[in-house]
Structure 1
Amino acid sequence: MALVPAAEAPTKHPLAKGVRQSAKRRLGLKLQNQKEPLTLEVLQTGILLYVPDFQACSLLALSVASMVANMWAGFLRYKDMKYVWVELVKFYPTHMEALLIERKNDQFREGDVVYISRGLDRRTCPVALNEALISRARLSGLVNLYQGWDGRVARFRPQNTQLNGRHIEYPQCRREVHKFLQRTTGMSEAEVQKKWCTQSLRSGGATVAAQKVDFRLFQKHGAWHTASSAHRYILDSTETRLSVTRAMGY
C-alpha cells in the first residue's frame, strides 16, 4: 500500500519473523478456553422442556428451541444463523434447504445452501421447529428467521413476547443459549458458561456426524476450507480412539 517493494515489506523483515516465532513459542498453539461440544441427548432434552407442544408453548420458547436445533444440525456459526431469511428457506417432505446469502468462508460471495433432513421424532426435529416458528410468528418475505425481542417484556410477560423483525444480536443469542442449557442441565450460570458457548452447538453436531459421513460432505456442510479447521470441532470419544489399536487385530 505504501508502494514498498515486496522484498522490503516490513512483515518480511527478519526482526518481524523473529517476534512471531517467539510469540508462538511463548503462547503455544493450543486453543485457549476451548468449550465442549453439545451432545444430542442434552439438545433434545432441552427442546422437549422448552417446547412440549408447538402451539401451547410461548413464541419466545419456540424461537429459542428452533434456533438452537438448527445451529446444531446445520453446523451454523452465529454469523451464519443471522443471515437465514424466511423467503430463502424451502421445505420439502424429506428435508429443508436454507440459502445463506453470506457465509464466513464464502470467498466469492456466491452464497451457500444448507441442507437439513427431517428427524425421526417430529417434536425435536429442526425442520418441524422451523415450520412451527414461521407459522406461529406469521413470518414471510425477506425477513430474518431468527429474530430478537424486547428482553424487558420477555422477563415479565414471556407469553406476550413478540419478535422485533430484526436478526437476534449476539449477546442475546449467547444469553439465551446459556439459559437453555441451565434449564436443561440444572447447572449454575457460571458452570454453563465455563463448559459451553454458542460454538458448542456447531461442534456438537460436527462431533456426532464426523464418524458417520464422508469427510468431504462433512467439510462442505460446515463450510470449512481446510481439514485442519474442521478437525478443531470434533471431539474423539474413547471408543473412537480405541478403534485404531482394535483395527490392528493383536
Structure 2
Amino acid sequence: MASYLLQSRADNTVKKYQSSFDQFKSYCDINSLVSKPALPISVAMYFTSLLDQGKSDNVVSAAYYGIKWVHNINDLQDPTENSIVKQLLETAKRISSKPVQKKDVVSSEMLQARCLTYQDSVDIIDLRDLSMIMLAYAGFLRMNEVSNLHCNDVQFNSDHLVLKIRQSKTDVYRDGSEIVIAKSCSSACPYSMLQRYMSAAHLSINSDEYLFKPAFRSKHVASLIGKNKKLSYTRAKECIVDKLKSVAPGLKLGSHSLRASGATSVANTGVSDRCLKRHGRWKTDVAKDGYVKDSLEKRLSVTKMLKL
C-alpha cells in the first residue's frame, strides 16, 4: 500500500516533498521538537526561522507542501491547516518573493539563420542540437519532453511528422498525446532536420532507444554513446542555449524559451486559441497566456480600436 500511495504524485514531486520535509525534521531534531505529527507552533517556528534566514518564498512554499504531504499520506492531523501557518506562508510570498524574470523569445528568422549555417553539416552533435531546437520550437515542447523522446515516438508521413509524447507535466495520468508538425522547404524545417540527424546517427524509427543521447568526439568525429541513456535536462538546455547564442546575442534564454517562442510566433498570426492550446497541451487560457508575448502591433490594436 505504501508504494502505491507514493505513486499518487510524480516521482520528482515526491523527491521534492521528501527533501523539504527532511529539512524540517532536521530543524525539529536540533530544537527537540516532534516532526511527525508536528504541532502547528513547530511549523510556525520553522517558517519564522526560514524567513529570518532570508529564504525565498519558494523555499517556504516547498516546506509547506512537503509537511502537508507527509502528514496527509500518513493520515495524521495536518498542521499546515492552522491559520498562523497559512499567514506565515503569505508573509513569505509578500516579503521574500522576487519578480518573475520572463525569458526572451527567439524568432523564426533567427532559427533559419542558425540552421542555414549547418545546411551541409553531417556532424551528429550539431544535427542533434538543431533537431532538439526545431522540435521544441515547432512542437512547443518542454525540455523534459524533448529528452524523453524515443526513436519509435517519431512517425514520418509524406507532408508532416508525428511526435508521440508519452508523458508530460500536464498529463498526470500518462494518457499520452500526439503532436503533428508540418513539413516545409526552409533550412529550418523540423521534419528535414530530424531526418538528417537520424540518418547521420543511424537511428531507426522502430527502435525504442532514446532519440537524443549524449555524444562524444574522437579524432574530430562525433558519435552517440552506445548505452541507451537519454540526454539530461541540464545538458540539453546547455546545448540548445549554446547553439542560439550567435543568432540571439544578449537575449536571456532558458529551458522554456523555445516553447514560449513558438507559441508567441503562432499566437501573433491569429491561429485559434483552441488549436494553440491543443498543440501546446495547455489545459487553461491562464497557462497558455503565460507563454505568449503579444507583439507591439497587437498591443497597439487595443487603443486603435478606440478611434481617438
- Which TM bucket (shorter chain)? 0.7 to 0.9
- Structure 2 counterpart of 1:11: 80
- Structure 2 counterpart of 1:80: 145
Structure 2 residue runs without a partner (length 5+) = 1-72
Alignment of structure 1 residues 156-235 onto 2, 5 Å: 157=220, 160-164=221-225, 165-185=228-248, 187=249, 191=250, 195-211=252-268, 212-235=270-293
- Residues 47 and 124, structure 1, Cα contact 8 Å, conserved in 2: yes
Structure 1 residue runs without a partner (length 5+) = none
Aligned residue among 118, 121, 137 for 2:201: 137
TM-score (norm 2): 0.70
Alignment of structure 1 residues 46-195 onto 2, 5 Å: 46-49=114-117, 51-53=118-120, 56-121=121-186, 123-140=187-204, 141-150=207-216, 153=217, 157=220, 160-164=221-225, 165-185=228-248, 187=249, 191=250, 195=252
Aligned residue among 77, 86, 90 for 1:21: 90
- For residues 61-114 of structure 1, the C-alpha deviation after alignment (integer angstroms, 9 at most, x for no partner) is 111111111111111111111222111211112211111111111122111111
- Residues 59 and 136, structure 1, Cα contact 8 Å, conserved in 2: yes
Aligned residues: 231
What root-mean-square deviation, in Å, do the aligned CA atoms of Structure 1 and Structure 2 show?
1.9
Q: Give distance in 2, aligned partners of 1:229 and 1:3.
A: 32
- Residues 167 and 174, structure 2, Cα contact 8 Å, conserved in 1: yes
* SS of match in other structure, 1:114: strand
- Residues 177 and 197, structure 1, Cα contact 8 Å, conserved in 2: no
Q: Which has the higher contact order (CA 8 A, sep 6+)?
A: 1
- Structure 2 counterpart of 1:238: 296
- For residues 130-185 of structure 1, the C-alpha deviation after alignment (integer angstroms, 9 at most, x for no partner) is 111112211121112222112xx27x72xx11012422112321221222122334
1:204: how far off?
0.5
Q: Give distance in 1, aligned partners of 2:288 and 2:99.
A: 15
